[in-house]
Structure 1
C-alpha cells in the first residue's frame, strides 16, 4: 500500500505543482554529471565506447545507490503515511507529465501566432532542426514528441518503480537522460557520439522496450493493433515508433520525420484540434497507468 500511495502522491504533486526548482531537481544533477563526463570521453572508437560505458555504469550505480538508501531510510524509520508521502515526493522528479503537456500545448499556442514562433517553441522540445518545417510538420513533430515522451516521462518511470522501487525509476531516468545527451550517431557539440554514446543508447532501448509497448496499447484501440505493429516498424528506433504510431492511428493523422519515416501515411494532416485531442488521450493514458500500476503495487508489494 505504501508503494501504491507513493505513486499516486507523485502523480498528484506533478499535476498540482509540476517540476521542482532546478537547484533541487535530481535529473538536473544527472545532466550535470553527464555533461561533465561526456566532455572528457576520448574520441577513438574503442576507447570512446569503453569510457562511455564505464561512465554510464558509474553514474547509474551512484543514482541507484542513493535512491536505494533514501527508500530504505524512509521505509525503515517512518510510519506508513509519512513513508508514502516522502517516497512519492522523491518519485515525482522522475516523471514529468504536467511539463510535457504544457510544452506541447505551448507549441500549438505559438503556432497560432506565427510559424516562426511555433518553430522556436518546438526547438525547446525536440532535437531535430526545426528551420525547414512548415506549420503542418511543426504540429506533427509536437504530437510525436508528446507520444514518445509519454512513455519516457511517465509510463516507463512508473513501470520501473513498480518493478524495482525508487532505484528502478531513478536508474531509468538516468538512462533516458544519458540517451538524450549522448545517444547520437553524429557529431554534436563538437564531439562524435557514434561510439561514445552507443552504450547509453542501447541501455535506454533495453529499459524502455516493455514500457513503450504498454504506452502504445494504452493509446491505440484494439481494432488497430495489427496496423500498429506494421507502423511501429517504420522507424529505426525499437521503442519510439510504438507510441508514435499508436497516436497516429488513434487520431487518424499522419506523423512524419521528412526523409526518414511516415507513420499512418494515408492519414490526414493534423489540425489544431488534433493537438488538443492528443493531449486528452495522453492524459487519459496517464490516469490509466496511475490506476492500474497503483492497483498492482497494492496487490503485489
Structure 2
C-alpha cells in the first residue's frame, strides 16, 4: 500500500474538516466567488426576497397586527433555515461517502461560498481607489457596501464607513462562518450564512424597499444576534491583540456604544487599534478622541483584517488538528 493511500485511509472526519478550511481559503484567494447562478447565498437571498414579500406588510400602512407580522417572519425564517440545514446535512453525509482526500476537497469547495474574504478585501480597497479619482466616485463605491445615505459624506467619513464595514463584515464573512464550521461542520456554516443573510435583508426597523420590517424582521435580527455573539467577540480579540494596552482597556466600553450587541465589538477594536474615530451620524461615535481616517488608516485596517483572517484560520485548524495529526502518524 502506498503512503498516499495510507494517508487517505487515516484521515478522520475532523482531519477532513481541517483540510477543508485550508482548501476553502485557497479557493477564495485564487478564484474568489463562484458564479452567481451557482452561489448558494444568492439562492438564500432569492428565497428571502420571495418570503419577505409574504411576511412583511406594505410600508406606510401603519399595520397594527404586529403579532401576525412577527409570526409570519419567524415562520418564513424557520422554513428557510430548515431547508438550508437539511440540504447541508445531506451534502455533508454524501461527502462522507467519498474516499479520503476527496472528502476534504469537496468539503472545502462547499465551504468556500460561506466565506467571502477576498470579495470584502477587494471591495473595501476599491473605495480608496475610487476616492483617488474623486469624492463622488468614492461615495458611489461605498454605496455598494453600506445601506446608509452617502450623499453628504466627506472623504474622511467615506473612509470611516469603509473601515466600519470591513470590521463588521470581517466577522460576518469570515470569522463567524469558520467558527460555526469548527463547531458544527458544513451545516453550522450554512445555517449561519442563512441567518446573516436574513438579517441583512430583513433586520430593519421601519420601512425598507416598500415593506415594514419592524416586526416581520425581528426574529431574523435576534437569530443573527445569537449566532454572532461569540464570533463577534473573537473578531474583536483578534484585532485588539494587534494593538496596545489602551485597546484592551477601552474596548468593552466602546463596544457598547452601538445599538447592535455584536457589531460594536469588531468596529470598536478596529477604531482603537488604528487610533481613529468611527461613527454613524446621530447614532454612535467610537473612539471619539481618535483622528480622522486617512488613506493610510484604510490600508492599515486591511492589513489588520488580513492578519485576523490568518489567525482565525489557524485557530479553526488547530481545534480540528488532533484528527489531522493522527493522519500523519
| TM-score normalised by L of structure 2 | 0.90
Deviation at 1:300, TM superposition (A): 6.9
Q: Which of 3, 19, 26 matches 1:5?
A: 19
The residue that corresponds to 2:76 in the other structure is 55
The residue that corresponds to 1:65 in the other structure is 86
Deviation at 1:222, TM superposition (A): 5.9
The 10-residue stretch of structure 1 (38-47 or 61-70) with the greater mean CA deviation from structure 2: 38-47
Find the structure with the greater CA-based Rg.
2
CA 1:151–1:300 in structure 2 vs 1: closer, same or farther (change >3 Å)?
farther
Alpha-carbon contact 2:22-2:108 (below 8 Å) kept: yes
Count, aligned residues: 300
Q: 1: distance between equivalents of 2:100 and 2:323?
A: 17
Q: Deviations over 1:220-264 (max 9, x none)?
A: 136221200010011010000000000001101010111111100
Q: Which of 187, 209, 216 matches 1:196?
A: 216
Q: Which of 207, 212, 219 matches 2:232?
A: 212
Instruction: In structure 2, list runs of 5 or more residues that go unmatched.
Output: 1-14, 58-64, 325-329
The residue that corresponds to 1:229 in the other structure is 252
Pairing 1:173–2:193 present:
yes
Q: 2: distance between equivalents of 1:300 and 1:142?
A: 39
The residue that corresponds to 2:306 in the other structure is 283
SS at match of 1:53: helix
The residue that corresponds to 2:327 in the other structure is none
CA RMSD of aligned residues (A): 1.0
The 10-residue stretch of structure 1 (88-97 or 129-138) with the greater mean CA deviation from structure 2: 129-138
Pairing 1:238–2:261 present:
yes
The residue that corresponds to 2:55 in the other structure is 41
| TM-score normalised by L of structure 1 | 0.98
SS at match of 2:55: coil
Within 5 Å, give how 1:179-190 maps onto structure 2.
Answer: 179-190=199-210
Q: Which of 306, 315, 319 matches 1:292?
A: 315
Q: 2: distance between equivalents of 1:300 and 1:218?
A: 25
Q: Which of 19, 28, 35 matches 1:21?
A: 35
